[in-house]
Amino acid sequence: MNYLKRKVKNIKNGCIDVFNVIFRPSLVESHYKKRVIKKKVFIFLMLLLPITQFLIFFVYVNVDTLILSFKRYDYINGDYLFVGFENYRTTIRDLLSLEQFKTALINSLLFFPVTNFITLPLSIISAYFLFRKVPFGKVFKVIFFLPSIISIVVLTMSFQFMFDPIFGPVNSILNEIGINPEGGWFGNKKTVMPMIFLYCIWAGIGFNMVLLNGAISRLPKEVIESARIDGIGMYKELTKIIIPMIWPTITTLFVIGTTAVFTIFLQNMLLANGGPSGSSKTIAYIVTELVRSGNLTDAATIGMLFTFIGVPMIMFIKRFIERIGENVEY
Domain match, 105 and 153 both:
yes
**DSSP letter (8 states) at residue 179:** -
Domain match, 294 and 180 both:
yes
Kindly state the average pLDDT of the residues 169-182. 83
Indicate the average pLDDT of the chain.
84
Residue 74 within any structural domain of the chain: no
* Residue 286: predicted pLDDT: 92
Instruction: Identify the top-confidence range among 9-18, 145-154, 304-313.
Output: 304-313
Q: How many CB atoms lie within 10 A of CB 285?
A: 22
Evaluate whether 90 touches 297 at the Cβ level (below 8 Å): no
Percent of the chain with pLDDT over 90: 26
Question: What confidence tens digit (pLDDT) does each residue in 138-166 have?
Answer: 777 777 777 777 888 888 898 888 888 88
CATH number reported for the structural domain that contains residue 255 in this entry = 1.10.3720.10
161 residue type, one letter? F
Residue 303 within any structural domain of the chain: yes
Domain match, 96 and 186 both:
yes
Evaluate whether 163 touches 184 at the Cβ level (below 8 Å): yes
Kindly state the average pLDDT of the residues 3-10. 54
Domain match, 52 and 146 both:
no
Q: How many domains does the chain have?
A: 2
Residue 79 within any structural domain of the chain: no
Q: Is the pLDDT of residue 67 over 80?
A: yes
Domain match, 130 and 58 both:
no
Q: Is the pLDDT of residue 19 over 60?
A: no
| 73: region left, alpha or beta (phi > 0 left; psi from -120 to 50 alpha) | beta
Residue 80 within any structural domain of the chain: no
Evaluate whether 235 touches 132 at the Cβ level (below 8 Å): no
Domain match, 212 and 90 both:
yes
Range of the domain at 19: 2-68
**What is the C-alpha to C-alpha distance for residues 141 and 237, in angstroms, rounded to an integer?**
21
Residue 73 within any structural domain of the chain: no
